[in-house]
A and B are shown apart, each in its own frame.
Chain A
Amino acid sequence: MAAVAAMGLALFVLPLAGIVQRADWAHLVDHLRTPEALEAIRLTLVASLSATALSLVLGIPLAWVLARSRFRGLALVRGLVLLPMVLPPVVGGVALLSAFSLRSPLGGWLHDTFGVQLTFNPAGVVLAETFVAMPFLVITVEAALRNLDPRYEEVAAGLGASRFTVFRRVTLPLVGPSVLAGAVLAWARAMGEFGATITFAGNIAGRTRTLPLAVYLQLETDQDAAIALSLVLLGISLAVLVALRGRWLERS
């Protein structure tokens, strides 16, 4: 058992060790101080955090409906919500284009009415990242809601609380840790998003070129810079995931 577990762990650790060993540590900071790298890091953080916020706003109600509703076609709705997890991200990007490009009815209307163009725009990066990342939040929060003891909510409702008050004061606090976990999962997935972003939002320096896109471009011209950027991505993600795990252990 332990041997197999070690093999499983090795599958994750070996590639990471490989990239750490390949890095040009002496010039790491120089690679990250270029205007392009700083721009990509800033854009990645802003876009992934915005995508997480959007996922929270849209995803929690969605998870609640999936966990609590009973209607024909619920399984289909859940399938649709989780589809981006298995869809090749590039296909997701093409799907987003067909809905929001200037030539699509909705995208054209948004542009003509509000002057909004999502493609080649940081907002498009946020949309692409939300599309790909939100299912991670929904699936996590839905699982927590399903495992919730309904008596707490019943008691609150019996004491006269409105449905919204019950949700806000009882349900949400009870599933709080899962909301946090789901948000972090969604955020980490958004940080690493590549296919949907490059297809839908494009690859424009300073506007839509996030870290994964910059890494991909740099790999062919300057591997050391690409690896330095990858390490930033890995470092931030690992730090947050480790911190989160620590929180869980303390609580249980």
Chain B
Amino acid sequence: MKTARSMVALVLLALVALVATGCGSDAGSGDGGAEAGATTTAAAAGGRGEALEGEITVSAAASLTEAYTQIGADFETAHPGTTVTFTFDSSGTLSQQILDGAPVDAFASADEANMAKLTDQDLVDGEPQVFARNQLVIVTKPGNPAGIEGLADLPGAGVVALCAASAPCGRFAAQVLEGAGVALDESSVTRGQNAKATLTAVAEGDAAAGIVYVTDARAAGDAVAAVAIPEERNAVATYPIGVLAGSGHLDVARAFAEYVLGDEAQAVLKEHGFLPPS
């Protein structure tokens, strides 16, 4: 009996720990790699001709997952001695993490508003540069069994997946719906934490439709069907990248931001469905 009780007490203690940390670790799952950036020391000199060296952490909008993973690998190949670690999540989550002191070297946002939160606090080195644009699209189950032809068909179609109102894709979706005069009852809307989670609700879950970025729908391949939103009704998301002034590897972070604007990276972005910066 004694041992049983002490064992139970042990499990209980472990649980208190779980309860205390549970919310935080689930919710903040994006910043796991955030500490990595500060651990290596910078190259002795950042002068021209010197090889770049060091590890940077880049926080990037979830919609950039595929394109940036490839661009990061290309950058590492172009600059041996550098390592780029990514944290992908909603731009709203990422900007909040950076405001809360997450050690990040560069931030690529899916909108200008979340970048502005950082420039307002003088956290950004120089001016953020727009490197891509994106548009929204309706996604449905493969084959579009519900016969959704446009925004007007969304009410009554079943559960619709939208991004959280604080995520850029959530704000853009609200704009697009309002512009089309379509009102969705919140009791039939499931909110994804970011663009990828919203897509997953349609691709894996039971949501009848969702509004995500064109690039996400393309990345999902056959898992969803895409229904275009007319150009004049669509929103355009502009993606700026900014180097954070507190970076321990300003030279590498600046080089990465520059690289994203270069021809090679632009070709990768185009391949994934992004529009050019202007």
Interface residues of A (CB under 8 A from B): 12, 15-16, 89, 94, 97, 101-103, 117, 119-120, 136, 139-140, 143-144, 146-147, 177-178, 181-182, 185, 188-189, 191-192, 194-195, 198-200, 202-209, 212, 215-217, 219-221, 230, 233-234, 237, 241, 244-245, 248, 252
Given contacts A12-B17, A136-B11, contact A202 B23 (CB under 8 A): no
Query: Are A89 and B15 in contact, CB atoms less than 8 angstroms apart?
Result: no
Query: Are B5 and A220 in contact, CB atoms less than 8 angstroms apart?
Result: no
- Interchain CA distance A209-B192 in the complex, whole Å: 11
Q: Write 30 A-B pairs (CB below 8 A) sorted by A numbering.
A: A12-B17, A117-B206, A119-B206, A120-B159, A120-B206, A140-B8, A147-B3, A178-B4, A181-B8, A189-B15, A189-B18, A189-B22, A192-B19, A194-B22, A194-B27, A195-B26, A198-B197, A202-B190, A203-B164, A203-B190, A203-B191, A203-B192, A206-B187, A219-B96, A220-B90, A220-B164, A233-B23, A234-B20, A241-B19, A244-B12
Among residues of B, the one whose C-beta sits closest to the C-beta of A144 is: B4
Within 8 A of A (CB), among B1-47: 1-5, 7-9, 11-12, 15-24, 26-27
Q: For A140, give its contact among B2, B11, B92, B205 (CB under 8 Å).
A: B11
- Interchain CA distance A199-B201 in the complex, whole Å: 7
Q: For B20, give its contact among A15, A177, A182, A185 (CB under 8 Å).
A: A15
Q: Counting CB contacts under 8 A, is B193 at the interface?
A: yes
Query: Are A217 and B191 in contact, CB atoms less than 8 angstroms apart?
Result: yes
Given contacts A198-B193, A207-B187, contact A252 B5 (CB under 8 A): yes
Q: Counting CB contacts under 8 A, is B226 at the interface?
A: no
Within 8 A of A (CB), among B181-216: 186-193, 197, 200-201, 204-207
Q: What total count of A-B pairs have CB within 8 Å?
A: 136
Q: Which residues of A contact B16 (CB under 8 A)?
A: 12, 241
Among residues of B, the one whose C-beta sits closest to the C-beta of A251 is: B5
Q: Give the shortest distance, in Å, between A9 (CB) and chain B (any CB).
A: 11
Q: For A245, give its contact among B12, B165, B186, B187 (CB under 8 Å).
A: B12
Query: Are A178 and B164 in contact, CB atoms less than 8 angstroms apart?
Result: no
Q: Counting CB contacts under 8 A, is B93 at the interface?
A: yes
Query: Are B190 and A230 in contact, CB atoms less than 8 angstroms apart?
Result: no
Most buried by A among B4, B16, B164, B204: B4
State how many residues of chain B have any CB contact under 8 Å with chain A.
47
Q: For B23, give its contact among A101, A146, A182, A192 (CB under 8 Å).
A: A192
Q: Which residues of A contact B201 (CB under 8 A)?
A: 202
Q: Which residues of B contact A202 (CB under 8 A)?
A: 159, 161, 190, 201, 205, 207
Q: Which residues of B contact A143 (CB under 8 A)?
A: 4, 7-8
Known: A120-B206, A216-B26. 11 other contacts (CB 8 A): A12-B16, A15-B24, A120-B207, A143-B8, A144-B8, A202-B207, A216-B27, A221-B166, A241-B15, A241-B16, A241-B19
Among residues of A, the one whose C-beta sits closest to the C-beta of B21 is: A15
Query: Are B26 and A217 in contact, CB atoms less than 8 angstroms apart?
Result: no
Q: For A208, give its contact among B3, B165, B190 (CB under 8 Å).
A: B190
1/0 contact string of B202-235 vs chain A (CB within 8 Å)? 0011110000000000000000000000000000
Q: For B206, give its contact among A12, A94, A102 (CB under 8 Å).
A: A102
Q: For A12, give its contact among B20, B189, B193, B197 (CB under 8 Å).
A: B20
Q: Which residues of A contact B22 (CB under 8 A)?
A: 189, 192, 194, 212
Q: Which residues of A contact B9 (CB under 8 A)?
A: 248
Among residues of B, the one whose C-beta sits closest to the C-beta of A217 is: B164
Query: Are B12 and A230 in contact, CB atoms less than 8 angstroms apart?
Result: no
Q: For A101, give its contact among B12, B27, B206 (CB under 8 Å).
A: B206
Q: For A220, give its contact among B15, B26, B93 (CB under 8 Å).
A: B93
Query: Are B190 and A204 in contact, CB atoms less than 8 angstroms apart?
Result: yes
